[in-house]
Chains A and B, each alone.
Chain A
Amino acid sequence: MSLKYEDVIEKYEPVLGLEVHVELGTASKMFCGCNTIFGAEPNTQTCPVCLGLPGALPVVNEKAIEYTIMIGLALNCSIAPFSRFARKNYFYPDMPKNFQTSQYDEPICVNGFLDVEIDTDEGIKTFRVEIERVHMEEDTGKSLHMGGATGRIHGADYSLLDYNRAGIPLVEIVTKIVPGTGKYAPEVARAYVAELRDILRSLNVSDVKMEQGSLRCDANVSLRLIGSDVLGTRSETKNVNSLRSVERAVRGEMIRHAELLNKGERVVQETRHFQEETGLTRSGRSKEQAEDYRYFPEPDLVPIVPDATWIETLRAALPEKPSTHRKRLQEAWSVPDKEMASMINADVLEIVEATVNLGADPAKARGWWLGEIARIANEKEVAATDLPITPKDVAEIVALVAAGELTDKLARQVIEAVIAGEGRPSEVIEKRGIKVVSDDGALMAAIEKAISAQPDVAEKVRGGNVPAAGALIGAVMKETKGQADAAKVRELLLKHLGQ
């Protein structure tokens, strides 16, 4: 029986540290002209440079520098007037040069921060996450371990190497330690990654797809006794590839650490791998003995000395901050804080906005995405935004309901059918023959039928017992197979019975 989260936070204070890797959306790689298209045939996007062939030399992609400076500026960082690349030396088959060209002690952006808002017991609260550095590096290739039971390197029969990803520009965003989040640590971690993702998306520097690995988060977690100012031993959880997983991983690690500490055992400093199915982590590489990467300045590249006016030009061109944008939407839509928070939490704000932009009423759009669609997403254990239903579909449904051509109940059926892949809303309606029965004659016939079936109920209604009408309305709805507008039925029924 594992420890309860409530018991963990009663005794311990979590300290977070988050490292986010972002693949930049540049057309070419960090140090060569190769394409960066996701999912291409293995080893078709390579050249002497990204394969690390003898004699080949790197040349920095200027767009990558521009993007990184934009990220630094959006995260309130200082841009270093002089920064350098360094070589991080270690052997690994998917790393062509056996060193990664990265930045070490001279990163391009330093000392920033990002504010995130959390819906707490005391209302919406802002946490400031301080950013230590933003730096550039190149991605590695991919190893595919074939044969064996686990798909892991141990026990594999052989491995295949794909260097398409080798040399894709990566930006690493590293926070300082984040204390003081208390029981909200998992939510803060998630909100930080979500906010960062929104910023990166607004900058248009990456496609920020966690499931494709273009945005990857390593979550460092440690616990210390409440009141203590000594940091505990941390674990670093990798392979966290959704916002939900960020939250689960942090919570899971907090519980795991607390269980160890409660038993008087120590936490091992290591990397751990998050497992989506169980929400648990498994042990990876030990970091008890610090690896010696023998960093030294990359002699094949010249220092980066960005022009001050260039930086100011980039700063001036930064887009509206997602948080400002949200405030503007909240005001325009007149949404209460709590509801705004639940939209952000369900990660549907952007899709609601897209739906509204297609003409849907904000309250209705919000209602569908947070209601029926979120319910189905929950059932299927996927994000609402990953369901095969588009803002256009929802906008169309909202319009049909407004025009009286669908009832809310019918609309739910249409949504389900669209998600089930039966087609766009208009196709579903046509195929299923869904329509609101609004013909008074047809309704009256059903009403007469219901009254004659339940004469005693009809009598009660005539006698002024209006709530009793429910049974009759239900019978009418049943008769019309749910295609009638319930309000209309009620109106006609009461009128017919003299109420």
Chain B
Amino acid sequence: MIIKRNAADMAVALASGETSSVALTQAHLDRIAEVDKDVHAFLYVDSEGALAQAALADKKRAAGEKLSPLAGIPLALKDVMVQKGIPTTCGSKMLEGWRPPYDSTVVSKLRAADVVILGKTNMDEFAMGSSTENSAYGPTHNPWDLSRIPGGSGGGSSASLAAFEAPLAIGTDTGGSIRQPAAVTGTVGVKPTYGGVSRYGLVAFSSSLDQAGPCARTVLDAALLHEVIAGHDPKDSTSINAPVPAIVSAAKSGNVKGLKIGVIKELQGEGYQAGVLNRFNESLELLAGLGAEIVEVSCPYFEYALAAYYLIAPSECSSNLARFDAMRYGIRVGDASGVSAEEVMNLTREVGFGREVKRRIILGTYALSSGYYDAYYGSAQKVRTLIKQDFDKAFLKSDVLVSPTAPTTAFKIGEKADDPIAMYLNDIATIPVNMAGICGMSLPSGLADEDNLPAGFQIMAPAMKDDRLYNVGAALEAALLSKWGAPILSHVSGLGAHA
């Protein structure tokens, strides 16, 4: 079945004429039609647009045009990324029916590379959550076990990969929304260096933390996609004006001999599932066996990362989400004669936002209030600086840092829905990377002993050293594959007969 191949292999099949992009796209659309009623990875499927893009890619190939490595390959786009004319909801009722009049830079780059966009994937509302349960359009189900969460906020993107509905996906990661879903679905996800991929057209949750990145089933596929979307964008002032690191060649090399790998003392132990830690330690042994030097490092301020994150991110979101006021786009509630604009704004926001979004807006509004600003937002920014310094020191001793991606495997839908703190703890190991603006990758380390569900291995590298993630990731991936004999996703069991 061609849909079970990796994107790099599909590219070979397209180049050799074994199949066409239209056929490949149709195969994925068929798969979506077959399994997405169970998985609910997609909020919108653009069959017509996708087939048209595929036909264009085939035409260019037939004409002998020089094509990008991913030309004609289908992709799923997280619904937080705007695409001209295609409904973009961010998983919120607030934006129901809104069709953006412009393309995000990521979408423009995908188009330029002739990547085929299948549709928009489900997510926690405005990317706030770790389970995709906060979507106003219902949760996404983990293909490993449909009663379990696929992670969040980008659960739709990761689930679409694990269910073979798409070989590639775009995610966004503010505190772990690419990496944690990758971990719990047995896929690969990368949060690039902050500023490495343009945020223009990414609907902002927390501007200083948000970063779009690639989701895939292999390290090389992630690198190929990363290369398409990366690079300086004059439309994003925070975009870094420097050459993109050589990520694809790093993903093809996978050589860790002599490399120093730092294990962060604070990101293991209490709160981590035993099976997750077992797979993590096994992976470390494999890396050591490949010639890497494993060192232990300490990042004492990581203890405060979660608390600081839950001040900074809500503060920024309280301001970023202020624009949803029913005046220009999205839903409008209570607009009647004699009702003031202010009342319409209030009613619309009451109805349009879900509970978690409101919780964070209120939190952030409070943290930014005069009299509280210094104690909350101000202190959180200081913690952020200390976390950066922790990383700086740790990177003096090691080339990359590693940890389990998430403390547990996928939990049951509804299990943590009423306990925000328990939910927030899912991101304890991923948040420091966002706070420091550096880059991180999650790749599967195997199945946890307790539940036979995937566990994730996180690699972290300094800013603009994203190539190191791919180098180490590729080495570990290869070692694990030869140990397992088959890719982890060959064990996906939740789809029954469809698996």
Contact = CB atoms under 8 A, between A and B. Distances in A.
Interface of A: 48, 51-60, 87, 89, 91, 93, 96-99, 159, 161, 290, 292, 294-296, 299-302
Contact of A54 (B88, B319, B369): B88
Interface of B: 81-82, 88, 90, 95, 98, 100-102, 104, 199-204, 206-208, 234-238, 315-316, 318-319, 322-325, 327-329, 341-342, 345, 365, 368-370, 373, 377
A312 B107 CA distance: 42
A301 B234 CA distance: 12
Contacts of B98: 54
A87 B315 CA distance: 11
A59 B203 contact: no
A445 B341 CA distance: 81
B323 A97 contact: yes
Contact of B325 (A58, A89, A91): A91
Nearest to A302: B237
Given A292-B370, A296-B368, A296-B377, A57 B325 contact: no
A106 B201 CA distance: 28
Which of B201, B327, B345, B365 has most A Cβ within 10 Å?
B327
A299 B203 contact: no
Contacts of B100: 48, 53-55
Nearest to B338: A157
11 contacts: A53-B100, A54-B82, A55-B201, A55-B204, A59-B234, A59-B236, A59-B237, A91-B322, A161-B327, A292-B369, A302-B237
A87 B321 CA distance: 13
A57 B199 CA distance: 8
A89 B368 contact: yes
Nearest to B95: A54
B207 A99 contact: no
Question: Closest 5 CB pairs between A and B?
Answer: A98-B322, A294-B368, A299-B207, A299-B208, A54-B203
A96 B319 contact: no
Nearest to B349: A91
B144 to A, nearest CB: 32
Contact of A93 (B88, B325, B369): B325
Given A55-B201, A299-B207, 20 more contacts: A51-B328, A53-B82, A53-B102, A54-B88, A54-B323, A55-B203, A55-B204, A56-B200, A59-B235, A89-B319, A89-B368, A93-B325, A96-B328, A294-B318, A294-B368, A294-B373, A295-B368, A296-B373, A299-B206, A300-B207
A300 B194 CA distance: 12
Contact of B237 (A60, A96, A97): A60
B327 A57 contact: no
Contacts of B208: 299
B319 A55 contact: no
B200 A57 contact: yes
Which of A87, A99, A299 has most B Cβ within 10 Å?
A299
Contacts of B319: 87, 89, 99, 294, 296
A57 B368 contact: no
A56 B101 CA distance: 11
B323 A57 contact: no
B104 A55 contact: yes
B101 A93 contact: no
Contacts of A294: 318-319, 365, 368-370, 373
Contacts of A299: 206-208, 238, 316
A89 B104 contact: no
A102 to B, nearest CB: 13
B363 to A, nearest CB: 12
Given A52-B323, A97-B322, A57 B236 contact: yes
A28 to B, nearest CB: 14
A57 to B, nearest CB: 5
A294 B317 CA distance: 13
Nearest to B198: A57
Contacts of A56: 102, 200-201
Which of A96, A98, A290, A294 has most B Cβ within 10 Å?
A294
Contacts of B200: 55-57
Contacts of A301: 237-238
Contacts of A53: 82, 100-102, 328-329
Nearest to B365: A294
A99 B95 CA distance: 19
Contact of A89 (B101, B322, B324, B377): B322
A57 B365 CA distance: 22
